[in-house]
Structure 1
Amino acid sequence: MNIQPTLTAALLAALLTGCTSLPPVPAAPDQPWIDTTPPVSGHHPWAVQTAAITAIPQSGKLPEPVFEVPSVPLPAQAPSQVRIDPQQPLGLVELIDIAQRESPLTRRAWNAARQAALGVGLVDATFLPMLSASVLTGWQETRYPLPDNHLGIDQLQARSHGTVPLLALSWLLFDFGQRSALREGAAQLSLAANVLFNASHQQLIRDVTEQYYQYTTARQRVRLSAQSLALQQQVLDAAQARFHAGIGTTVDIALASQAVAQARLQVVNSQGLEKIARLALLGTMGLAPDAPLAVAPPNNHPLPPDVQAMTQEALHLALARRPDIVAQYAALKAEEAKVQAAEAAFMPKVYLGAVYAHQKQHFQLNSLPELGMQSSSSGVMLGVSLPLFDGGLRRNRLQSAKISARQAQDNLQTLQQDALREMAAADTTLQSALASHVAASELTHTAQTAYEAALAAYQSGLGTITVANEAANQLLLARLARLDARSASQIAAANLAFATGAMVRSQQQWLASD
């Protein structure tokens, strides 16, 4: 038995095993990962630092684990292509226009639409013939030992080398509609991607609209908080005037000063919320947090007390224009096309083939003169292919395609039901927000009257400081409630337009009185 090949294989396996190097992993579930593999230029500074931190000191006390990660060289961010004048306040339409050019949401949808269109081109290419060119070249030497030495020749040595350029053409002529079905599926997916591209713009319009009203509402809350501070300051001034007139007390001044301090805190909190809302608006638009953007306030137009509720007929008509419904319908058609393609795989295919080759060959035997030969060949073939047995591969593919088509149909029905509920909920939300705005407006009017009466009563000595402070607080709450209800009504109107597929272009407002 020859054990040399076995030993060679064992040594080779051992060598390969010894050369295998696994990347470092965390030593325990509660210990940080440390990359101890140095780069070409030396050790990572952060790796050395982490290793020093995790070393056990002489005191025996384990250090606090540090779960830091290395920094990577990120590419520089491309500058914004939109020039923004910080001195020119922009309305909602201008903000949406900037967002549509800067937001990564629309760029991702655009790339997806272009890739889906390329899928149609890939299928179209299968309808055309395929032409390929090849060049084969080689060299061969053969020795034939002779049993008898004749004329001093103990072997025949033949050498040959040559080059063969080759042109080959293949063309699938007929496949019982398999490629047509695949193209239909690709076209439906391209349609869905284009619809979802428009849907991304609708979503961006809705998101920017919502963040615009959130931000402008936050700015108006700052203004209302400042007005409330002025009202509380009026109460404090009245308390100080009564005290200097000898009819007030230090308790009244203390209570009024406390109310002023609380009003200042309300202003500070409102300013913080305004900054957060601004960052959210800039993020939705795809702008940097420090973008010099001036936002114009919305028009202070009166809101309608109510709107007509959507009927069942209007809800069902709106389904046909919702982009997600249209895209899911196209996805269903694409799955049905896949079923047709899987069924066509059981049918034969007709091929056309053609080939042309030109051969140049040189042959030499021992010391005889070299012989050169040239030849060419061409041919055309027509063939039929029909797989008879594939272990159930085509049958399983067909069943899988049918299941996917059935799932796509179920998804479409589920999406329709969800869309109906979403539109009904958006309509109800709008109705509720408008009703809240009417009630909050009435509350603001009564709270304003109550504050003026409480302040006048206190100034004349007929009221108390507690009633005056509470009236000022209630007036602020009523104004904030009216502001929030107005903002909620505008946002609800935009959401209803988005839910019904009517948000096809940017608008300054989606709700106005007739």
Structure 2
Amino acid sequence: MSGKTGKRYFWVAYGLSTLLLSFGSNLATAWDLPQRMEDPLFTRPPVLDRGAILPGDHQVVVCSGNEPLNHPLTLSDAVDLALCRNPQVHAAWAAIKVQAGAVGEARAAYLPTATATLSQLHTRTEFPGVPEANSSVNGHTIYGGLTWRIFDFGAREGNNEAARLLLVAAMLAHDAALQKTLSNVVSAYFEATSARAAFGARTESRQLADDALAATVRRERRGAAGQSDTLQASTATAKAQLAEQRAAADYNKSLAMLAYAIGLSGGAFVELADMPEDEPGNAVGDLKGWLDEAMARHPAIAAARAQLEAAQAKVRQVRGEGRPTVDLTGNIYQNGYPNQGLQRTRSTVTTVGISLTIPLFEGFARTYKVVGANAEVDQRAAQFEDTEHQVLTDVVKTHADATSALANLTASERLLNSARSAVRSSENRYAKGAADVLELLSTQSALSDALQERVRCLSEWRSTRLRLMASAGVLAGDQIHAIANR
């Protein structure tokens, strides 16, 4: 074939390929194929399209922009902001996408692979001393190949199962990251509300001290009290003011920590919404029931279990890779072979066959790969037991804390009521001259302690109740909404 004919053939083939690509592009646009070709093997899990959902919840976590808060921050708002901005949640979300790609690679092993090469070549052969024998050839070569593995001993099946289980583990790890973020934000929010309540209690104590000082000054002017009483009342007032200032500093610090936990920018102003005072309500529940819930529903335990099963599937893959395989092959060569010069005459060679590959000796590499895979199974099993132990230990500790907090909640209410009655009685007695200033200051100090105990008990009850649900893996957004809106 002449050089002009070869060039003409090449440009015709190039034009046809360009036309086919253009037609295919238009057809793909009409059928929305570009999006479909992003995931042709259907490996993308639905959670990536519908959005994240808290374990046990039914509402998708909707993330908006970074609009500033223009209303008091509720617990529900804090949770929603944190779930959208926490970097650990973002990393777990990206891990799902990565593992979905690994599932696609595993599924692609069941499909044939095809290659094609089109080359335009110029070949010149020279014979020193015999110039009349020199030759020059212009032309093209075409190569096409098809390989399809039609049978192996479980290598692809083990790889596909391992990839699928790791994708399940990645989604469960994302759920665990959501639960952890949820628990951290709940703790930070209640620490802030507790600090605000403590600040309010200190303010009330300071007002009582101011009232006592004013009453003592009036009595001293009438000659009913000495200067020592006024000095003692003034000291108590200064002490109450110092405690109030420290409580204000703790409150501002807790607000800053809350803003950081939910991902607000530095210096963002946060105002907490009012929360109703909790009633004791029902009992905490049986410990065995909470442990059973954690075993069945906690995403961290489920993720560790899926990773263990994936490691077991990996063993089957490694063993299968060391066994025979059967491949269907087909090739077509036109005008020569790859990486060789052009032939003088046009030719077409077609081959079709079935290849049986039997690994005979790999230098004992397969043996050590199997040993390593089995060791990974043992490692994953130990990690599963450790995760299970940690989760159940947290449930046991939090259940004990919640039981104690529920009992303390009722006791702190009785203590606060008694302290308030004692202060009123002491104020009346002091106004009538039947009690001295030491008795009044003592009852006011007892009331301040009772207020602090009430704040502490309320915080412990609210926090441990939600932490118990989080440690068991049953805390969801709708439960937070219900508790926050009581």
Report the equivalent of 1:230: 207
CA displacement at 1:509 relative to structure 2? 6.6
Report the equivalent of 2:441: 469
CA-based RMSD: 2.7
Report the equivalent of 1:131: 114
**1:353 aligned onto 2:329:** yes
**1:256 aligned onto 2:240:** no
| Distance (whole Å) between structure 2 residues aligned to residue 287 and residue 506 of structure 1 | 23
CA displacement at 1:80 relative to structure 2? 7.1
TM-score by length of 2: 0.79
> Higher helix proportion, which one?
2
Q: Secondary structure at the match of 1:144?
A: coil
| Distance (whole Å) between structure 1 residues aligned to residue 186 and residue 478 of structure 2 | 9
**1:117 aligned onto 2:94:** no
Report the equivalent of 1:81: 65
Are the aligned partners of 1:84 and 1:292 in contact in 2 as well (CA < 8 Å)? no
Are the aligned partners of 1:104 and 1:286 in contact in 2 as well (CA < 8 Å)? no
| Distance (whole Å) between structure 1 residues aligned to residue 382 and residue 417 of structure 2 | 53
Taking a change above 3 Å as real, the CA distance of residues 463 and 274 of structure 1, as seen in their structure-2 partners, is same
| Distance (whole Å) between structure 1 residues aligned to residue 357 and residue 222 of structure 2 | 111
Report the equivalent of 1:399: 371
**1:265 aligned onto 2:237:** no
| Distance (whole Å) between structure 1 residues aligned to residue 108 and residue 141 of structure 2 | 28
User: Any residues of structure 2 matched to 1:297-446 within 5 Å, and which?
Assistant: 297-304=274-281, 307-312=283-288, 314-359=290-335, 373-446=345-418
Between 313-322 and 493-502, the greater mean CA deviation after superposition? 313-322
Report the equivalent of 2:185: 208
Higher relative contact order (CA 8 A, sep 6+): 2
| Distance (whole Å) between structure 1 residues aligned to residue 369 and residue 200 of structure 2 | 65
Query: What do the CA deviations read for 1:414-459 (whole angstroms, capped 9, x no partner)?
Result: 3323322221111100011122222222222222233233333433
Are the aligned partners of 2:76 and 2:481 in contact in 1 as well (CA < 8 Å)? no
Counterpart amino acid of residue 412 in structure 2: A
Report the equivalent of 1:173: 150
Are the aligned partners of 1:143 and 1:155 in contact in 2 as well (CA < 8 Å)? no
Counterpart amino acid of residue 105 in structure 1: Q
Q: Between Structure 1 and Structure 2, how many residues are aligned?
A: 418
Are the aligned partners of 1:123 and 1:182 in contact in 2 as well (CA < 8 Å)? yes
Query: What do the CA deviations read for 1:20-72 (whole angstroms, capped 9, x no partner)?
Result: xxxxxxxxxxxxxxxxxxxxxxxxxxxxxxxxxxxxxxxxxxxxxxxxxxxxx
Are the aligned partners of 1:93 and 1:507 in contact in 2 as well (CA < 8 Å)? no
Counterpart amino acid of residue 287 in structure 1: L
Report the equivalent of 1:492: 464
Report the equivalent of 2:83: 100
Taking a change above 3 Å as real, the CA distance of residues 380 and 428 of structure 1, as seen in their structure-2 partners, is same
Q: Name which of 215, 235, 243 aligns with 2:220.
A: 243
| Distance (whole Å) between structure 2 residues aligned to residue 414 and residue 296 of structure 1 | 39
| Distance (whole Å) between structure 2 residues aligned to residue 314 and residue 437 of structure 1 | 22
| Distance (whole Å) between structure 2 residues aligned to residue 138 and residue 387 of structure 1 | 38
Percent pairwise identity? 24
**1:450 aligned onto 2:433:** no
Q: Secondary structure at the match of 1:300?
A: coil
User: Any residues of structure 2 matched to 1:268-283 within 5 Å, and which?
Assistant: 268-283=245-260
Counterpart amino acid of residue 93 in structure 2: W
CA displacement at 1:137 relative to structure 2? 4.9
Counterpart amino acid of residue 103 in structure 1: N
Counterpart amino acid of residue 134 in structure 1: T
Between 491-500 and 214-223, the greater mean CA deviation after superposition? 214-223
Q: Name which of 144, 164, 175 aligns with 2:127.
A: 144
Q: Secondary structure at the match of 2:361?
A: coil
Which of the pair has more CA radius of gyration? 1
Unaligned runs of 5+ in 2: 1-62, 338-342
Unaligned runs of 5+ in 1: 1-78, 147-152, 362-370
CA displacement at 1:510 relative to structure 2? 7.5
| Distance (whole Å) between structure 1 residues aligned to residue 271 and residue 321 of structure 2 | 61
Report the equivalent of 1:67: none
Query: What do the CA deviations read for 1:323-367 (whole angstroms, capped 9, x no partner)?
Result: 111111111110010111112123101112211222289xxxxxx
Are the aligned partners of 2:287 and 2:396 in contact in 1 as well (CA < 8 Å)? no
